[in-house]
Structure 1
């Protein structure tokens, strides 16, 4: 499995990110994450989850004990929170720029692993700008070519 590095620090692969994000989300909503829950959420076989969970344990994102479950380490919790925030931010951004709501989740899944954290931060600045400037957001929405022209 290819390791991604950022300034000498091993970063999780896109697949690892998907698992960390889903585990963090499950723990936030249910209080726990079992292998079967993760498999159901990611539409993968439980044996695939077990294999990935063992890798995430080795890389210190979580602590896994067979038949007893798993818990995120501080490193895993921090990464999971950041990944979930990235996902929500990208959903907000796509909504702001007028992407059809039925496409947003799929589009975010397609792009989230391909953007640098610097790009994510800049997108965050854009989202914050439009949240703080509703008139600018209104102007942007008026530019949407898919909306009928209501001006006379």
Structure 2
């Protein structure tokens, strides 16, 4: 059994990751919507996350208070510079995890689905190890 302090630290890290997971999912999706359609609307976010519109409105309010997004009533949602940076970090982690899983032989669909959970909990050290593995196992 691991040392109690180390085990407590590990569980604390997981709790912290859970707290930021929702914000990361939202800013990553908002960035994708803005990049592909030119805007991010609450209705589009709700549809893509599979949640109710009031849930999105409540979460966007929280993200505004945290300085990650800006929005006006009945207008699109925009990322602040802090939100954009978070979205870029999330997108990078997601891509690395997906590519790592695919390098192991996991199908694209499963890799995308599994990466949604893993990407929020992975350390930078492990992410760098995934990247080294991907580079060393590239075909061609």
Q: TM-score, normalised by structure 2?
A: 0.80
| Higher Cα radius of gyration | 1
RMSD across aligned positions (CA): 2.2
State the match for 2:28 in structure 1: 21
Give structure 2 stretches of 5+ with no counterpart: 1-14
Specify which structure has the bigger relative contact order, considering alpha-carbon pairs within 8 angstroms and separated by 6 or more residues. 2
Superposed structure 1 runs of 4+ greater than 4 Å apart = none
Query: C-alpha distance in 1, partners of 2:107/2:74?
Result: 42
- Give 3-state SS (helix, strand or coil) of 1:54's partner: helix
Q: Which residue of 2 aligns with 1:124?
A: 131
SS of residue paired to 2:105: coil
Q: Is the 8 A contact 1:25 1:84 kept in 2?
A: no
Is 1:49–2:56 an aligned residue pair? yes
Structure number having the greater helix percentage? 2
Instruction: State the partner residue of 2:16.
Output: 4
Aligned residues: 127
SS at match of 2:117: helix
- Tell me by how many angstroms 1:61 deviates: 0.7
More strand, by proportion: 1
For the structure 1 residues 29 and 12, does the alpha-carbon distance in structure 2 shift closer, same or farther, using more than 3 Å as the test?
A: farther
TM-score, normalised to structure 1's length? 0.74
